Structure 1
Amino acid sequence: MIFRRKGKNDDPETTGTDAATDETGPVDVRAEGPFDSTEVDAEALEDEGRVDLGALLVTGLDGMEFGLQVDEQSGVVQAVLLMLEDSALELRAFAAPRSSGIWDEVRREVAAEASRMGGTATETDGPFGTELVLVLPVEDPEGQMFSQTSRVIGVDGPRWLLRGTVLGRAAVEADAALPMEETFRNVIVVRGDEPMAVRESLPLRLPPGAQPSPTEEA
């Protein structure tokens, strides 16, 4: 499900792909999403296929399962986890300043933390711009150590940063990554007008009528 961004001088003959490939200007990594809620038409916001999680409107693909990381004590939803076969995508959103994005700075900090944990972080060009490939040492339940690879994607939007972590087979195989990239691209961020501290997590909530299960609690 792809939406094109609306603009003040919206030309019906111009698509998001055209904007992204215009050789006269810089590539817009958000030309086809993820979007800000102010950039899409009302019918896109009300699409029945979207799951309303407060600051994030998420559309899952066929066969995809949703999970929520919920703080046990506060009941606050900390992250969204979307799972498809042996791959997963974790979504988090943060407040950012009006003047500039924060992904470059956050990316450096994530890389430094990976190094501190004895792993590696490699910058690479992905469909959403510069991302990180992390390889971290992990201990399994039997006490055996192995290396876990993940991709950390970040996209700066209007006063927000959307961060996605790709896990499992999608982190290492291009074909398996495509559904996760499509899901990330289809996210709509609802930043709101209220002032927030830079890097403060945008408020997530359970979908209307949903109750957290034990597997959803962190």
Structure 2
Amino acid sequence: MKFRRKSDDAEAAAEAEVPAEEAEPSTGPFDIDDLPEDDEQPRVDLGSMLVAPLPGLELRLQVDEDAEEVQAVVLAGPDGALELRAFAAPRGGDLWGEIRPRLAADYAQRGGTATEREGRFGTELMCQLTVRTPDGRTGTQPSRVIGVNGERWMLRATLMGPAAQSADGPGLWEDAIEQVVVRRGAQAMPVGAALPLAMPPRDQLTERPET
């Protein structure tokens, strides 16, 4: 009969709990150079961002008509909207950690609140802002700001309306963020500068996926 030492048993148990051949699944948002080879998700090419037109959400663009420039990407649905913006960041830096306190201070200066919480993508902001409605009444505008640091870029995703209050567990909105691909490019840019967006082919912008 062969006896095993406790240390041997402990090592064997550890190996059984964490099999060497199993690796953590890769999740987005992705840098375009890190997109898995087997990824087959269709996306709309907007230059610095590739966005998946998920069922139930309509892809819209915020355009500065005077400058003829795309300012932001919006995915809109019956329960709110998701605004996506990408910015240049230093390699290996934490731009989201730097600007998060500034965003919170800006909300406070405007009479609102911004509270940090931990979510699917790390630390995020749950925000409330008092606004005046078109009929002259006072109301509360909720938003939820999520930041993701990437390879020389930072993605900022802002959930607005009822979608901002659905913060428990993964859902359609967070899945949409996870499917974003960022194309930073090799050009030098100031830290915090918005990555340039481009108009997609018209058929991609107007086409809606089946629900």
Q: TM-score band, normalised by the shorter chain?
A: 0.7 to 0.9
TM-score of the pair, normalised by structure 2? 0.82
Does the alignment pair 1:15 with 2:8?
Answer: no
RMSD: 2.2
Aligned-partner Cα distance in 1 for 2:100–2:115: 10
**Runs (5+) with no aligned partner, structure 1:** 1-10, 17-30, 214-218
Aligned-partner Cα distance in 1 for 2:64–2:204: 13
From 73, 82, 88, give the equivalent of 1:80: 73
Q: Output one character per residue of 1:67-99: Cα deviation in whole Å (capped at 9) or x when no partner.
A: 111001011111000012122100000000114
Q: CA deviation at 1:32?
A: 1.1
Amino acid aligned to 2:183: V
Q: 1:165: which partner in 2?
A: 158
Say whether the 8 Å CA contact 2:41–2:52 is kept in structure 1. no
Q: 2:179: which partner in 1?
A: 186
From 122, 141, 144, give the equivalent of 2:134: 141
Aligned-partner Cα distance in 2 for 1:87–1:142: 20
TM-score of the pair, normalised by structure 1? 0.79
**Runs (5+) with no aligned partner, structure 2:** 1-19, 207-211
- Distance verdict in 2 for CA 1:175–1:65, change over 3 Å: farther
Q: 1:150: which partner in 2?
A: 143
SS of alignment partner, residue 112 of structure 1: helix
SS of alignment partner, residue 204 of structure 1: coil
Please say which structure displays the higher CA radius of gyration.
2
Aligned-partner Cα distance in 2 for 1:186–1:200: 22
